[in-house]
Chain A
Amino acid sequence: MSGNSSGPGPSFEQRLRAARERQGLEKPAGGANPGGASGWGGGLQAGVELVSAELVAGAIGWGLDHWLHTLPLFLVIFILVGGAAGVLNAFRRFPPAGKAGG
């Protein structure tokens, strides 16, 4: 086999890479998916962050109101705070491109 009777041509490595590219096995250089998560999964996870922060904040606000008998006050404040915290969490999990995650 060392004689390589098939004649001159591209080396084995090159042919292998070409074949793998045809089959879609070789990733194109600089893959378009650095985070590992797909767009769908990322969106779902960001949604979970938003909802859970809102839930926790709502529970805290309602609990404070229940305790201090000021029903809508803390609920309103904490729902707003929860929205901010949810965006903060989603932002930290998926920092925009070009910025380092904190």
Chain B
Amino acid sequence: MAAGGTFKMDPLEQFALHPVLGPIGRSVNFTQANLTMAVGALLVMALLVYGSRPKATVPGRWQSLAEMLYQFVHSMAIDQIGIEGRAFFPFIFTLFTFVLMGNLIGLIPFMFTYTSHIAITGAMALFIITMVTIVGLRHHGLHFFSYFAPPGAPAALMPLIVLIEIVSYLSRPVSLSMRLFANMMAGHMILAVFASFAVVLGSLGLVGLVGAVVPFAVNIPLIGFELLVACLQAYVFAILTCIYLHHAVHLH
């Protein structure tokens, strides 16, 4: 942090994993990503338990927050999947709140953004696509594979269309995980780049301090923008899961 060359400007450094909780954490590789995931899950549970405890007819702040969250995801699941969506509501709700909490926790200074690692978004996306395939097979049996052969296509083009549909289906988990990971990582990198500009300029004396105001001022609206991205990407992740489940349940 000192003036001169000792300050290392590395916007990727924030994504490095470090074991936490001392020797116990080191021995099982319990990193800050695992810790923030646990914190995120506990925060969601705390919000729901604490929010639903008053059971007031006229809800207070926390109760209406918890109820609005529940209502929002519930109507999203029903609207997108149909009446069968009720069965998937707990899963969608868990997914949405987990991703949302991860994105929001990441905006708190010194906290880690677990959704900025493709290992985590990729694991979630793989789970989703496996589940969607199993749901499709359970609802339709082997008829599910007719999903890859759209009706009305000429028979001569069938091999090509089936190939394209299969690639399109298999690319879903990749695009699902890449979208969330890329959005979160890019946002946090931009924040880190501007913040390090401010630090480097600020270490140049009085003139530098005046100049450092500019990148600092850029970071303020960026934080607001990141807040929007955090909510939007959690929503997109959940709604795409709903759309995939709709395809599996209804075929097309």
* Residues of A with C-beta under 8 A to B163: 81
What is the 8 Å Cβ interface bit string for chain A, positions 61-102, against chain B (1 contact, 0 not)?
000000000000000001001101110110000000000001
Instruction: List residues of chain B with CB within 8 A of the CB of A57.
Output: 167, 171
Given A55-B174, A86-B171, the answer on whether A81 and B179 have CB atoms closer than 8 Å is: no
Chain A residue contacts of B175, Cβ below 8 A: 48-49, 51-53, 89
Among A52, A57, A81, A89, chain B packs the most CB atoms within 10 A around the CB of A52
Q: Which chain B positions have C-beta within 8 A of A49?
A: 171, 175
Complex contact B171–A89 (CB within 8 A): yes
Q: How far is it, in angstroms, between the C-alpha of A56 and the C-alpha of B236 when the chains are bound? A: 21
- Chain B residues closer than 8 Å to A82, beta-carbon distance: 167, 171
Which residue of the partner chain, among A41, A60, A102, contacts B167 with CB atoms under 8 Å? Answer: A60
**Residues on A with beta carbons closer than 8 Å to the beta carbon of B164:** 81, 84-85, 88
* Shortest CB distance B179–A (Å): 5
Q: Whole-angstrom distance between the alpha carbons of A51 and B182 in the complex?
A: 12
With the chains together, A4 CA to B164 CA distance in Å? 69
* Interface contact tally, CB-CB below 8 A: 53
> Which residue on B lies nearest to A61, using beta carbons?
B167
Q: Do A45 and B232 touch across chains, with their CB atoms under 8 A apart?
A: no
Q: Are A60 and B179 in contact (CB under 8 A)?
A: no
Asked, given contacts A41-B232, A102-B252, whether A52 binds B178 with beta carbons under 8 Å apart, the answer is yes
Chain A residue with the shortest CB-CB distance to B168: A85
Q: B171, B175, B232 — which one has the most chain A CB atoms within 10 A of its CB?
A: B171
Cβ of B170 under 8 Å from chain A: yes
B174 touches A88 (CB 8 A): no
CB-CB under 8 A from B171, the residues of chain A are 49, 52-53, 55-57, 82, 85-86, 89
Contact of B232 with A89 in the complex, beta carbons under 8 Å: no
CA distance A52 to B173 in the complex (A): 9
> How far in angstroms is the closest Cβ of chain A from B95?
18
Cβ-neighbour of B168 out of A51, A55, A78, A88 (below 8 A): A88
Residue pair A85, B232 in contact (C-beta under 8 Å): no
**Chain A 21-60, CB within 8 Å of chain B: the 1/0 string?**
0000000000000000000010001001101110111001
- Residues in A with CB closer than 8 Å to B167 are 53, 56-57, 60, 78, 81-82, 85
Residues of A near B172 (CB, < 8 A) are 89
When each residue 150-192 of chain B gets 1 if its CB lies under 8 Å from chain A and 0 otherwise, what string results? 0000000000100111011011101100110010000000000
List residues of chain A with CB under 8 Å of any chain B CB: 41, 45, 48-49, 51-53, 55-57, 60, 78, 81-82, 84-86, 88-89, 102
Chain B positions near chain A (C-beta within 8 angstroms)? 160, 163-165, 167-168, 170-172, 174-175, 178-179, 182, 232, 236, 252
